[in-house]
Structure 1
Amino acid sequence: MTSSSTVSSVSAPADTEAALRRLINSGYRFVHPRDADGEIVAVVGVRAHHTVVDVVRLDAEDEVTAARVPGDEENVLEPVTVLWRSSGAVGDVVGELLALADEDHAAPRPQWATSATAAATKGCWVAGQAGRTKWLVASA
């Protein structure tokens, strides 16, 4: 084993931990989808803000997908409408996601929207285990 392979095998978990800390510090809340046996299949971070929801799914250190979807998207884990998307290694994808301005790709509020309608999009439902859903409150 060469020293470069040792460095890369040690840095991947460190990169993942640093990326997760950046997401937590940015207001992301996490859910952990499980398979039928109860095993965690991914780590999913969600941040609802303004008129959008940002979602990042970590299946492995080099298998990460992030997306920005409209705040009224019914299923943020399998969205019909995607405003922005990226996939790749954890450091790259999380960096791109956190570099997005809150206004980037934001849907304008319709003129007919009332304060009650706006309040209704201040969070999102995320599928949990055993068919249950969880409401994640918007961070901004």
Structure 2
Amino acid sequence: MNAAEVTEERLRELIARGFKFVHPRDESGHITAIVGVRPHHNVIDVVQLRTEDDAVALRLAGDTADVLAPQRHSWRSAGPAPRVLDDMLNLPDVTAEMIEMPSANGHWIHTGRNRAKWVPANSG
């Protein structure tokens, strides 16, 4: 499978997970990116593909005002589209347990495909 086919397959997997896609255009009407957004629990997952070699995926706070120009993110991947899309597909979904855990006392880290681990903050 070539990179374009892998990218297309991964985009279908993201759609199956609830991502909604838009295609921003420039003044001439040409597509400038493929942007997928999936709000869930208290976060927003965003994928932006500008070219096959220039993609970005982010996990943002649920109250982020501008998902295309966020000020902060809790997770990020950038690079070739197939790898970035795989990274997003492997990112664990946020669960109610994660939301209830106060972030001031630690944070969740990605440890593998659909897995995360809570790491307490150091007190000293």
Q: CA RMSD in A?
A: 2.3
Shift of residue 90, structure 1, vs aligned partner: 1.6
- TM-score scaled to structure 1, two decimals? 0.65
Matched, 1:87 2:64: no
1:25 maps to: 16
Are the aligned partners of 2:40 and 2:94 in contact in 1 as well (CA < 8 Å)?
no
Separation in 2 of the partners of 1:51 and 1:98? 18
More contact order relative to length (CA 8 Å, sep ≥ 6): 1
Give structure 1 regions of 4+ aligned residues with deviation exceeding 6 angstroms. Answer: none
Q: Which runs of 5+ in 2 are unaligned?
A: 101-124
1:99 maps to: 90
- Gap change, CA 1:76 and 1:107, over 3 Å in 2: farther
Separation in 1 of the partners of 2:42 and 2:98? 6
The secondary structure found in structure 1 opposite 2:28 is: coil
- TM-score scaled to structure 2, two decimals? 0.73
1:120 maps to: none
Shift of residue 79, structure 1, vs aligned partner: 0.4
* Percent identity of equivalent pairs: 45
Shift of residue 69, structure 1, vs aligned partner: 0.3
The secondary structure found in structure 2 opposite 1:69 is: strand
Question: Larger % of helix: which?
Answer: 1
Could you tell me which of 6, 16, 39 is aligned with 1:15?
6
Q: How does 1:1-140 map to 2 (within 5 A)?
A: 11-103=2-94, 108=99
